[in-house]
A and B are shown apart, each in its own frame.
Chain A
């Protein structure tokens, strides 16, 4: 089997299966083999660690070379987990201080952040629009579309879980076929199937994959309210508008919608993962 060296939304589920990481038992996470990671891999990993922390007082993340450590600090992965995770080897205080001084200054990244209070969300979204438009030089409509998608997903983490348990991260990448924005939102809550089963008006489903397929239909929601159940439906429409990709992961299932290619792929793993993990990639529009 090939060794996974990139932790992204594409590889996250395979990687944790390969590493035999379970969100109810593992407490040592070895990242030493990784050479590249993106919000689509790190945000769900941060959610996984937060879930593990409910049962394990000491979670250890093993890091390798300095370059990898630098990225984990600058991406916010370190600071969002520093209270619940021990990083080995320890990151030098001088290095952390250096990043602290430059915090928020990276023009291509929004650090991984906990989504704490719903009341703070409008302010965070206004800031997000401003960063996307003026720091990342994205077009106004692209910035609004991204913020709308983020808003709907963040609200889902509040609306469908008993406590705040969401995390978000965003980064702009320069790829060979142009710039794209990757935004990842994860929570360590109840997952899609459990929330949809609370509303008997929803179409019935048996598996996590079917639950995801149900969740993206217009009007399916935990709540019996005709104005609910629009978030994921509109997320796919926003992705289509921006020739983007949406990946939804919940329980044992992962579903990837490649709107640029008009293709949908599904994967099922044997071990179940708590929460919901969503990554949206949009081609940059100016």
Chain B
């Protein structure tokens, strides 16, 4: 299930930390209401610009606290312009955190992420379904410990889902997937 919030209803130009308080409250309420594995989409359609203070307060603080305050909930941004994307990317890079952007039916990562994690994220998005650590290890030609480390990191950053499943032989294992594209 997806919940949506529109940022443009607050204004098309979003300035200051103070102005971020109300939308951040709305976003927190939505993240509290949804269940594990569910998604909140922040729709930036109509938003022309925001300053770095707004971006730090709204996007940055939420991204940094997501996995702790709202574990297993996902945050996605949509409908960014080239300009707002560049500024959001810089904000998240500065905070050494990342966020999912859904654009034209594809998922991308904004912000700072190690190339190895990005590569793993891309593999999961293109795998067409849930994937195990063993499959990641095989496809990326890395050992299983490295695959598990990458997947755990991505889960911790709130970028992929982890669900318990069973293998064909009946063994318990985790399957990893992205949010719907």
Residues of B within 8 A of A125 (CB): 13, 15, 51
Decide: A227 near B61, CB < 8 A? Known: A119-B18, A122-B19.
Answer: yes
Cβ of A147 under 8 Å from chain B: yes
The residues of A that contact B17 with a CB separation of less than 8 Å are: 155
Partner of B16, one of A118, A129, A144: A118
A230 near B49 with CB under 8 A, answer: no
Inter-chain contact B19/A226, CB cutoff 8 Å: no
| Cβ contacts under 8 Å, A155 to chain B | 16-17, 53
Assuming A141-B83, A227-B95, is B49 touching A147 (CB within 8 A)?
yes
Asked if A218 is at the interface (CB within 8 A of a chain B CB), the reply is yes
Whole-angstrom distance between the Cβ of B7 and the nearest chain A Cβ: 14
Q: Give which listed residue, A121, A141, A144, A227, contacts B57 with CB less than 8 A.
A: A227
Of the stretches A5-13, A19-27, A179-187, A231-239, the one at the interface is A231-239
Given contacts A122-B11, A226-B95, A227-B61, contact A148 B52 (CB under 8 A): yes
Flag whether A70 is at the interface (Cβ < 8 A).
Answer: no
| A68 interface hit (Cβ, 8 Å) | no
Complex Cα–Cα for A219 and B96 (A): 11
Contacting residues, chain B, for A118 (C-beta < 8 A)? 16, 18
Give the residues from 120 to 177 in chain A that come closer than 8 angstroms, CB to CB, to chain B.
121-122, 125-126, 129, 140-141, 144, 147-148, 151-152, 155
Chain B residues whose CB sits within 8 angstroms of the CB of A147 once the complex forms? 13, 15, 49, 51
User: Interface 1/0s, chain A 85-122, versus B by CB < 8 A?
Assistant: 00000000000000000000000000000000011011
Distance A147 CA – B54 CA, assembled complex (angstroms): 13
Q: CB of B94 within 8 A of chain A?
A: yes
Of the residues A140, A151, A227, contact of B51 by C-beta under 8 Å: A151
A159 to B155, CA, bound (A): 35
The smallest beta-carbon distance between A149 and chain B, in angstroms, is: 9
CA distance A155 to B57 in the complex (A): 13
**Interface size counted on chain A using CB atoms at 8 A:** 25
* Chain A nearest CB, measured from B91 CB (Å): 8
Chain A minimum-CB-distance residue to B13: A126
Q: Output the least CB separation between B107 and chain A (Å).
A: 25
Complex: how many Å from CA A155 to CA B15?
10
Chain B 152-172 per-residue mask, 1 if CB under 8 angstroms from chain A, else 0: 000000000000000000000
Using a CB-CB cutoff of 8 Å, which residues 120-135 of chain B contact chain A?
none
Chain A residues 223 to 272 lying within 8 A of chain B, measured CB to CB, are 226-228, 230-231, 233-234, 237
Q: Does B38 contact A (CB under 8 A)?
A: no
Interface residues of B in 86-142 (CB under 8 A from A): 87, 90-91, 94-95
Judge whether B16 and A230 touch: CB under 8 Å.
no
B34: interface (CB < 8 Å): no
A151 touches B16 (CB 8 A): yes
Whole-angstrom distance from the CB of B60 to the nearest CB of chain A? 5
A219 to B14, CA, bound (A): 22
In the assembled complex, B64 has its CB within 8 A of some CB on chain A? yes
The answer to whether A230 and B48 touch (CB under 8 A), given A125-B15, A151-B16, is: no
CA distance A156 to B60 in the complex (A): 19
The answer to whether A231 and B49 have CB atoms under 8 Å apart is no
Q: Which of B13, B64, B95 has the most CB of A within 10 A?
A: B13
Report Cα–Cα, A233/B17, bound state, in Å: 17
Q: Kindly list chain A residues whose C-beta atoms are within 8 Å of the C-beta of B13.
A: 122, 125-126, 129, 144, 147
10 more CB-based (< 8 A) A-B contacts, given A144-B13, A155-B53, A230-B56: A118-B16, A122-B11, A122-B13, A122-B15, A126-B11, A126-B13, A151-B53, A155-B16, A227-B56, A230-B91
Nearest 6 CB-CB pairings of A with B: A227-B56, A144-B49, A151-B51, A122-B15, A148-B51, A227-B60
